[in-house]
C-alpha cells in the first residue's frame, strides 16, 4: 500500500490491511484525495477572503468551512443563483448590501470558480466517504470469510 493511500484511508477512518485493498478502494480513495487537494488549493485564499468578509461586512467567518466561505463569496455577486443554505439570510443580506465594497478586493470570476470547485469537491467527498466505508467493510468481511491465504 502506498503512503498516500495509507494517509487517505487513515484520514477517513478506514483501518485495512494491505492485502484487503482492491481497485475500488484505491479509486475511491483517489477521488477523496483529489477533493482534499481542491480544498488545500483554495484554503489560503478562502481564509483570506473570510478575513475580508469580516473587515468589510463585519461577519466573523472564524470556524466556517471553506465551502461556507466560498458560498458567501458567491452570494456577494450572485445571491439569486444557487443554494445559499450554508449562509444565513441575514448574512446574505449584509453581503449583498456591501457588494460594491468588495469590487476592489476580489475577482468575481475567481470567486465563482472557487465556489463551483468547492461545491463539486464537497458533493464528491460526501458520496465517496460513504462508498469508501462500505467498500472497506465489504473487504473486511471478504477477508474474514476467505482468510488471508486466499486474498494474496
Query: With 90 as the cut, is the pLDDT of residue 26 above it?
Result: yes
Q: Average pLDDT, stretch 82-105?
A: 81
Is residue 114 a contact partner of residue 45, using CB atoms and an 8 Å limit?
A: yes
pTM of the predicted model over 0.85: no
pLDDT at 48: 92
Domain span holding position 134: 3-150
Residue 128 reports pLDDT greater than 70: yes
Split into its structural domains, the chain has a count of: 1
Q: For residue 7, give Cα distances in angstroms to 13, 16, 63, 82.
A: 10, 12, 25, 34
How is the chain classified by DSSP, letter by letter? --HHHHHHHHHTT----GGG--HHHHHHHHHHHHHHHHHHHHHHHHHHHHHHHHHHH----TT--HHHHHHHHHHHH-TTSS--TTS-HHHHHHHHHTHHHHTTT--HHHHHHHHHHHHHHHHHHHHHHHHHHHHHHHHHHHHHHH-GGG--
- More confidently predicted of 84 and 91: 91
Q: Indicate the average pLDDT of the chain.
A: 87
pLDDT of res. 106: 63
pLDDT at 28: 94
pLDDT band at 116 (very low <50, low <70, confident <90, very high): very high
Amino acid at each position: 500500500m502506498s503512503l498516500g493511500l495509507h494517509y487517505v484511508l487513515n484520514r477517513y477512518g478506514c483501518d485495512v490491511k494491505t492485502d484487503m485493498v482492491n481497485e475500488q478502494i484505491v479509486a475511491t480513495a483517489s477521488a477523496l484525495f483529489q477533493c482534499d487537494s481542491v480544498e488545500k488549493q483554495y484554503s489560503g485564499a478562502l481564509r483570506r477572503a473570510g478575513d475580508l468578509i469580516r473587515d468589510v461586512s463585519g461577519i466573523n467567518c472564524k470556524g466556517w468551512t471553506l465551502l461556507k466561505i466560498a458560498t458567501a463569496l458567491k452570494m456577494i455577486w450572485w445571491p439569486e443563483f444557487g443554494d445559499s443554505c450554508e449562509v444565513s439570510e441575514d448574512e446574505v443580506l449584509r453581503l449583498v448590501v456591501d457588494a460594491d465594497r468588495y469590487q476592489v478586493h476580489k475577482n468575481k470570476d475567481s470567486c465563482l470558480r472557487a465556489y463551483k470547485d468547492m461545491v463539486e469537491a464537497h458533493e464528491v467527498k460526501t458520496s465517496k466517504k460513504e462508498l469508501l466505508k462500505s467498500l472497506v467493510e465489504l473487504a473486511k468481511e471478504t477477508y474474514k470469510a476467505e482468510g488471508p491465504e486466499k486474498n494474496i
